[in-house]
């Protein structure tokens, strides 16, 4: 093997992977060693995450990495943001963590608004309004006793590996309890939900070592006890933004998975009234950069549609849906993909039909028409969001870089290039894992430099596909 091997545990809302990344001073290669499905599970009418199963899959993946590569130079964990588990004083999880798609949080919104007006909330946190942000969940949390702690998902998994509790800052920035300008907890916002920052373990930064493996984890995985578990951008989107291919900074990005995260990278937050009205977020990135972006409904809409068609006994795979969509004429009905009606699991094709009908548009009927509607809606929303991000931030955007599972969707990439009228650079698929291993490798001295240097390594090690905007877009009209 060439270079040092680092293990990346990258768990999205729809699937997890354990990846071995081999890093030298100027290259990185990934080997996806273990994959598993993920998704919210129903429990007594609530939506939860099966944290025990996720932890078991993580250990199984690390065991497979050890089997293939022997000892590793580090382990880094990233997952989706916002959600937390409650840990009792003995270190046990008190129950399966709630999913952000559970509707309990909606009741928390009014309680928080009553204590902190929306404008003040934005001025402090810089966060877009999402009805499920951690602070809203905490406002209705009944299971967090005085002796307990709340631990964000990646921190919970790192605790499982090391027995050390910490809260990594990029993910903390998504909680609605974090001051975007100071880069630290906001005690005032904790007070709004009757809590203090001590409900979370101590804040740490990407690059810091959380701890080493417990004897039990070392035995289960075959990795040495001395293996460091290193904080990366534990918010998956923070790692994805590190793993964008270089060069330069005049680009917008789309991290395309269950969600589409669309925006630009800045040095300072934009906390203006115009930015709040446009619902842009200022999440913390690695090296204190700001991820200035919006959440758009993303490929969740397609995942849920595929699930529905399967329930109906239709044999529609992702490949079939995309092929059918490609032969549907452009210019058909569209929806607003970040509308709150699409957040909960359910019959997505019917919700999409209803939304189109309510807007006085033609109803998409077939799987191909539904898929086309989703992709055109996403592309249009991407274009509007990229333009708005550029306007509000002053960042001159010359290109759009798409990473994540959705970067493999050729139709979506071309529609995006056409809608935004800029070149789209698609890939790498596993940008998140690349960002994860490169931040680990930098902390161990295997690579050096700032994010631009890390992105040059990504560019040198991957071959993204370029989509040029078509000057003439054929439409149905
Ligand atoms: P997350 O990290 O949120 O779980 P991913 O980055 O893994 O999400 O992206 C998952 C999405 O990628 C799927 O919903 C699917 O639409 C898309 N995808 C995966 N494989 C392909 C493929 N071969 N072609 C087109 N799209 C794909
Ligand atoms: C993407 C993501 C996104 C969050 C959402 C909860 O996986 O982390 O950045 O807003 O999940």
Which of ligand 1's atoms lies nearest the C-alpha of 255?
6
Distance from the alpha carbon of residue 319 to the mean position of ligand 2, in angstroms: 25
Which residues on adjacent β-strands are paired with residue 83? none
DSSP 347: -
Residue nearest to atom 2 of ligand 2 (CA): 80
Distance from the alpha carbon of residue 406 to the mean position of ligand 1, in angstroms: 5
- Measure the CA–CA gap between 312 and 345, rounded to whole angstroms: 16
Residue nearest to atom 1 of ligand 2 (CA): 80
pLDDT tens profile 160-199: 999 999 999 999 999 999 999 999 999 999 999 999 999 9
Distance from the alpha carbon of residue 36 to the mean position of ligand 2, in angstroms: 18
Segment (H or E) for 23 = strand 15-23
**Of the bound ligands, which one is closest to the alpha carbon of residue 79?**
2
Which of ligand 2's atoms lies nearest the C-alpha of 12?
7
Does the pLDDT value for residue 130 go beyond 50?
Answer: yes
What confidence tier does 445 reach under pLDDT thresholds 50, 70, 90? Answer: very high
pLDDT at residue number 3 = 77
Residue nearest to atom 11 of ligand 2 (CA): 80
Pocket test for ligand 2, best of 49, 259, 294, 433 (most atoms within 8 A of CB): 259
> Mean pLDDT score of the chain, rounded to an integer?
97
Ligand 1 in reach of 347 Cβ (< 6 A)? no
Say what percent of the chain tops pLDDT 90.
97
Does the pLDDT value for residue 474 go beyond 80?
Answer: no
Ligand 2 in reach of 237 Cβ (< 6 A)? yes
- Measure the CA–CA gap between 418 and 421, rounded to whole angstroms: 5
- Measure the CA–CA gap between 266 and 451, rounded to whole angstroms: 12
Task: Choose between 473 and 427: higher pLDDT.
Answer: 427
Ligand 2 in reach of 242 Cβ (< 6 A)? no
User: Rounded mean pLDDT of 387-407?
Assistant: 98
Ligand 2 in reach of 127 Cβ (< 6 A)? no
Which of ligand 1's atoms lies nearest the C-alpha of 429?
6
User: Rounded mean pLDDT of 362-389?
Assistant: 98
Ligand 1 in reach of 306 Cβ (< 6 A)? no
Q: Contact, 261 vs 295, CB < 8 A?
A: yes
CA neighbor of 172 nearest in space, from 144, 145, 134, 141: 134
What confidence tier does 475 reach under pLDDT thresholds 50, 70, 90? Answer: low
- Measure the CA–CA gap between 328 and 271, rounded to whole angstroms: 41
CA neighbor of 150 nearest in space, from 162, 164, 138, 168: 138
Helix (H, G, I), strand (E, B) or coil at 179: strand
Bridging pattern class, strands 203-204 and 167-168: parallel
Does the pLDDT value for residue 394 go beyond 90?
Answer: yes
What confidence tier does 473 reach under pLDDT thresholds 50, 70, 90? Answer: low
User: Rounded mean pLDDT of 404-416?
Assistant: 98
Active site residues: 236
What confidence tier does 477 reach under pLDDT thresholds 50, 70, 90? Answer: very low
- Measure the CA–CA gap between 450 and 244, rounded to whole angstroms: 13
Distance from the alpha carbon of residue 300 to the mean position of ligand 2, in angstroms: 11
Does the pLDDT value for residue 417 go beyond 80?
Answer: yes
- Measure the CA–CA gap between 117 and 114, rounded to whole angstroms: 7
Does the pLDDT value for residue 373 go beyond 60?
Answer: yes
Distance from the alpha carbon of residue 81 to the mean position of ligand 2, in angstroms: 5
Helix (H, G, I), strand (E, B) or coil at 466: strand
Residues 56, 103, 276: CA angle, nearest 5 degrees: 105
Segment (H or E) for 242 = helix 236-242
pLDDT tens profile 429-444: 999 999 999 999 999 9
CA neighbor of 118 nearest in space, from 176, 190, 187: 176
Ligand 2 in reach of 255 Cβ (< 6 A)? no
pLDDT at residue number 237 = 98
Residues 315, 320, 326: CA angle, nearest 5 degrees: 145
Ligand 1 in reach of 16 Cβ (< 6 A)? no
What confidence tier does 2 reach under pLDDT thresholds 50, 70, 90? Answer: low
What are the CA-CA distances from residue 398 to residues 251, 386, 448 (Å)? Answer: 6, 10, 27
- Measure the CA–CA gap between 193 and 136, rounded to whole angstroms: 8
**Of the bound ligands, which one is closest to the alpha carbon of residue 407?**
1
pLDDT at residue number 472 = 59
pLDDT tens profile 239-261: 999 999 998 999 999 999 999 99
Pocket test for ligand 2, best of 81, 126, 436 (most atoms within 8 A of CB): 81
Ligand 1 in reach of 405 Cβ (< 6 A)? yes
């Amino acid at each position: 093997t060439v270079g040092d091997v680092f293990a990346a545990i990258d768990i999205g809302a729809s699937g997890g992977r354990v990846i071995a990344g081999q890093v030298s001073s100027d290259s990185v290669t990934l080997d996806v060693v273990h994959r598993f499905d993920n998704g919210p599970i129903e429990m007594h009418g609530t939506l939860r995450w099966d944290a025990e199963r996720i932890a078991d899959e993580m250990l199984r993946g690390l065991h497979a990495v050890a089997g293939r590569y022997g000892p590793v130079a580090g382990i880094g964990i990233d997952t989706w943001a916002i959600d937390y588990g409650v840990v009792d004083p003995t270190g046990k999880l008190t129950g399966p963590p709630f999913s952000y798609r559970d509707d309990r949080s909606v009741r928390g919104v009014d309680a928080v608004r009553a204590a902190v007006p929306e404008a003040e909330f934005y001025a402090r946190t810089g966060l877009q309004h999402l009805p499920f942000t951690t602070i809203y969940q905490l406002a209705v949390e009944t299971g967090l006793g005085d002796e307990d702690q709340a631990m964000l998902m990646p921190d919970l998994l790192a605790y499982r590996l090391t027995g050390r509790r910490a809260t990594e800052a990029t993910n903390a920035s998504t909680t609605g309890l974090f001051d975007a300008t100071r880069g630290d907890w906001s005690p005032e916002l904790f007070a709004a939900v009757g809590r203090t920052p001590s409900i979370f373990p101590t804040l740490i930064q990407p690059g810091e070592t959380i701890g080493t493996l417990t004897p039990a984890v070392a035995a289960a995985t075959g990795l040495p006890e001395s293996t460091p578990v290193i904080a990366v951008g534990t918010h998956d989107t923070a790692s994805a933004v590190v793993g964008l291919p270089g060069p330069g900074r005049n680009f917008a990005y789309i991290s395309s998975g269950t969600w589409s995260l669309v925006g630009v990278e800045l040095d300072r937050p934009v906390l203006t009234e115009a930015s709040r009205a446009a619902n842009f977020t200022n999440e913390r990135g690695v090296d204190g950069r700001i991820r200035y972006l919006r959440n758009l409904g993303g490929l969740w809409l397609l995942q849920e549609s595929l699930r529905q068609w399967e329930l109906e006994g239709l044999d529609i795979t992702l490949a079939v849906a995309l092929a059918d969509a490609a032969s549907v004429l452009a210019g058909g009905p569209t929806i607003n993909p970040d509308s709150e009606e699409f957040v909960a699991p359910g019959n997505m094709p019917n919700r999409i039909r209803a939304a189109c009908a309510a807007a006085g548009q033609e109803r998409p009927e077939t799987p191909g028409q539904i898929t086309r509607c989703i992709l055109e809606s996403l592309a249009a929303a991407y274009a509007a969001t990229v333009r708005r991000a550029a306007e509000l931030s002053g960042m001159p955007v010359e290109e759009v870089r798409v990473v994540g599972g959705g970067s493999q969707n050729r139709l979506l990439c071309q529609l995006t290039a056409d809608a935004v009228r800029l070149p789209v650079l698609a890939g790498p698929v596993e940008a998140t894992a690349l960002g994860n291993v490169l931040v680990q490798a930098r902390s161990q001295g295997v690579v050096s430099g700032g994010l631009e240097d890390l992105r040059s390594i990504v560019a040198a090690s991957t071959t993204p596909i370029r989509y040029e905007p078509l000057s003439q877009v054929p439409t149905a009209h």
